[in-house]
Amino acid sequence: MKHTRVGIIGGGPAGLLLGHLLSARGIENVVLESRTREYVERRQRAGILEQSTVDVLRACGAGERMDRQGLVHEGIELRFDRQAHRIDFPSLTGGRTVMVYAQTEVVKDLIALREGPLLFEAEALSADPATGVVRYRHEGAEHTMTCDVVVACDGFHGIGRASMPAVTTFRRDYPFAWLGILADVPPSCEELIYAHHERGFALHSMRSPHVSRLYLQVDPGDDLADWSDERIWDELETRFAVDGDWKLERGPITDRSITPMRSFVAEPMRHDRLFLAGDAAHIVPPTGAKGLNLAVADVTLLAQALTRWHGVGDESLLDAYSETALRRVWRAEHFSYLMTTMLHRDPHQDPFDDRLQLSQLRYIVGSTAGMTSLAENYVGLPLD
């Protein structure tokens, strides 16, 4: 029977960052990760960091490589009706920007900084909210660990949320999915392009000056085998097309996947000694680039609350955690919903819906208030 102050289930960016923040404050913690280190460091996920996320990583010592290799973006481009419209972030948000830096790299940086126990291939089997007892399997044997507090950062399919005795869930599934690719070709743009087209949505992003990340709206039932490289590039070219001489550069596709689109929130995010953070508590469609950033906001709140509890025995921030975190979660859910429904084409929508989408897009790019609202939400609201 091993004891630790904070048991963290999940060694993704949320769990690793929480562990690092706690260790820096002298709070003992153990991180359990069910996958191998190699898998965790190669798992492709979000790559857009809000200003607040960048600030947190810098402040905790995890920003050195990010600042050398990350790409600062001062805006995004909206494309529709074969026209391109740029949203300038600094002028609309008091100088705030976003950073393109892949989750794989954030994870590598946090693993390199890890000081306390980090067990890979340690599968959490159960977590008792009343006692703080965590059972897990590691190296072929079952183990038991007692914790003053357990934080589940184990994703949508983890055991954390399932261990909560009373949870209300809110869910919305969208009638489309994203076909995402990685390609060994320099990006065809300096900033992200969000394209609305009659054939569906498309997004041009990047992972580095030499690697492009692109997405197509597809049917959730599509088979990857039906999407050849040529078909993918042809469809991207069609949806990104604008009047002028812009050209989409093509290259070898190194990775591809189809991801369903959904929104999900679990309330509350705490029961007794068990706390939820990140995807264990909420999922957002990736259109708003909020998933990783919400996870960082969650564990930053928790680190502050656990530090106060550890230092002076004050549990007020722990008691307020769920309510405080959910305010930000629902704001991000709403923004992601607006971006998703504005840019994607529902397969069942009619010409009336088409005109509403175009009207909203024209309003945003033609109104300072509209552009400001989008920019403020995209770069991220300040942390509480």
Q: How confident is the model at residue 1 (pLDDT cuts 50, 70, 90)?
A: low
Determine the 3-state secondary structure of 41 from DSSP. Answer: helix
Structure confidence by residue, pLDDT tens digits, 196-241: 999 999 999 998 899 999 999 999 999 999 999 999 999 999 999 9
pLDDT for 57 beyond 70:
yes
Q: Which amino acid is at 206?
A: M
Instruction: Output the pLDDT for position 104.
Output: 92
Specify the 3-state DSSP secondary structure of 158.
coil
Is residue 73 flagged as an active site residue? Answer: yes
Flag whether 228 is in a domain.
yes
Question: Can you read off the two tokens belonging to residue 343?
Answer: 């840019």
Has 348 been annotated as catalytic? no
* CB neighbour class for 343 (10 Å; exposed up to 12, middle 13-18, buried from 19): buried
Q: Is 175 a catalytic residue?
A: no
- Give the model's pLDDT for residue 307: 97
Q: Are residues 184 and 146 in the same domain?
A: no
pLDDT at 382: 87
pLDDT of residue 43: 82
Kindly indicate the confidence band of residue 44, based on its pLDDT and cuts at 50, 70 and 90: confident
Which residue in the list 101, 174, 194, 321 is annotated as catalytic? 194
Out of 73, 197, 204, 310, the active site residue is 73
Rounded to an integer, what is the distance from CA 341 to the centroid of its chain?
A: 19
Instruction: Taking residues 248-269, report their average pLDDT.
Output: 96
Residue 165 lies in a domain: yes
| Inside any domain, residue 90 | no
121, 109: one domain: yes
Query: Do residues 209 and 320 both lie within one domain?
Result: no
Q: In terms of domains, do 107 and 203 share one?
A: no
Q: Is residue 310 part of a domain?
A: yes
- Whether 83 is in a domain gets the answer no
Whether 91 is covered by a domain: the verdict is no
> Are both 22 and 106 inside the same structural domain?
yes
Query: Using CA atoms, how far apart are residues 239 and 235, in angstroms rounded to an integer?
Result: 6
The CATH number for 125's domain is 3.50.50.60
**In the predicted structure, residue 46 carries a pLDDT above the cut 80:** no
Q: Are residues 11 and 68 in the same domain?
A: yes
Separation CA 158–CA 334 (nearest Å): 25
Q: Are residues 64 and 27 in the same domain?
A: yes
Q: Which amino acid is residue 305, in one-letter code? A: A
Asked if the structure places residue 115 within a domain, the reply is yes
How far is residue 126's CA from residue 199's CA, in Å, rounded to a whole number?
A: 45
pLDDT, tens digit, 9 for 90 and up, residues 72-95: 999 999 999 999 999 999 999 999
Catalytic residue among 204, 282, 290, 344: 290
Q: At what angle do helices 351-366 and 368-379 cross, to 10 degrees?
A: 90
Identify whether 310 is a catalytic site residue: no
Give the chain's domain count: 2
Cβ contact 236:178 at 8 Å: no
**How far apart are the C-alpha atoms of 78 and 343, rounded to whole Å?**
9
Q: Is 74:88 a contact under the CB 8 Å cutoff?
A: yes
Domain CATH number, residue 200: 3.30.9.10
Which residue intervals of the chain are DSSP H helices?
13-24, 37-42, 51-59, 64-69, 89-93, 103-113, 159-162, 229-240, 291-312, 316-343, 351-366, 368-379
Domain of residue 190: give its range. 173-261+348-379
Distances (CA, A) of 178 to 18, 181, 293: 30, 10, 20
pLDDT, residue 40, reads 93
Among 225, 231, 229, which Cα is nearest to 184's? 229
Regarding whether 192 and 155 lie in a shared domain, the answer is no
Domain membership of residue 321 (yes or no) is yes
Q: Which of 101, 286, 321, 344 is catalytic?
A: 286
Active site residue 194: yes
356 — alpha (psi -120 to 50), left (phi > 0) or beta? alpha
